[in-house]
Amino acid sequence: MELVDEAAVLATEKYGSQETWKYRLKGDVINRERQADGSSRTGGSITGAFKSIFLPQGYPESVSDDYVEYQIWDTLQAFSSSMSGTLATQASLKGVGVGNQAATVAAATVTWLLRDGTGMLGRILFAWLKGNKLDSEAKKWRLFADILNDFAMFIEILAPYYPPMFTLIACIAGVFKSIVGVAGGATRAALTVHQARRNNMADISAKDGSQETLVNLAGLLVSLVLIPLVTDNPRLTFALFFLFTALHLFANYKAVRSVVMETLNEARLSIVLEQYLSDGRVLSPREANPKEPVFLEWRKEVPIKLGVSLRELVTSTQDLQLALKHHHKPFLIGIQQGCVSVCLSSEASVADEIEAACQALCLAAVMKASPPPPQQLRQLALAKGQDPWVLVSESYKFMDQMFPAFLLDLEKAKWLTDRTLLDWNEWRVDWRKKMS
Q: What residues have CB less than 8 Å from 53, skipping those under 6 apart?
A: 210
413 touches 285 (CB < 8 A): yes
pTM, 2 dp: 0.86
Give the SS3 label for residue 14: strand
- Which segments of 57-200 does DSSP mark as H helices, in order? 67-95, 105-130, 133-136, 138-158, 166-195
210 touches 53 (CB < 8 A): yes
Residue 216 neighbours by CB distance under 10 Å: 16
Q: In order of start, what are the domains of the chain with their CATH numbers?
A: 9-54 (no CATH), 67-258 (1.20.1250), 266-412 (no CATH)
Pairwise CA distance, residues 161 & 354, whole Å: 53
Helix 67-95 vs helix 138-158: angle between axes, to the nearest 10 degrees? 20
Strands lying side by side in the sheet with 339-344: 304-306, 339-344, 331-336
Strands 339-344 and 304-306: parallel
Backbone conformation region of residue 130, classed left if phi is above 0, alpha if psi is from -120 to 50, else beta: alpha
Tell me, what's the pLDDT at 124? 94
The single-letter code of the amino acid at 398 is F
Pairwise CA distance, residues 170 & 202, whole Å: 34
Q: Give the CA distances from residue 381 to residues 292, 354, 357, 376, 396, in Å, rounded to whole numbers and listed in that order.
A: 25, 22, 18, 10, 13
Tell me, what's the pLDDT at 432? 65
Residue 412 neighbours by CB distance under 10 Å: 10
The single-letter code of the amino acid at 426 is E
Burial bucket for residue 289 (CB in 10 Å: 0-12, 13-18, 19+)? buried
Q: What Rg, from alpha-carbon coordinates, does the chain have?
A: 29
Nearest residue to 282 via CA among 255, 262, 259: 262
Give the SS3 label for residue 20: strand
Encode the chain (436 residues) as per-residue pLDDT tens digits. Answer: 444 455 677 788 877 666 788 888 777 788 888 775 544 444 457 877 888 899 998 888 899 999 999 999 999 999 999 999 888 877 766 655 544 544 456 666 777 788 888 989 999 999 999 988 899 999 999 999 999 999 999 998 888 888 888 888 889 999 999 999 999 999 999 999 999 999 899 999 999 999 999 999 999 999 888 888 888 788 888 899 999 999 999 999 999 999 999 999 999 999 999 999 998 999 999 999 999 999 988 788 899 999 999 988 888 888 888 888 767 889 999 998 889 999 999 999 999 999 999 999 999 999 887 777 777 887 788 777 788 888 898 899 899 999 999 999 999 999 999 999 999 999 999 876 554 4
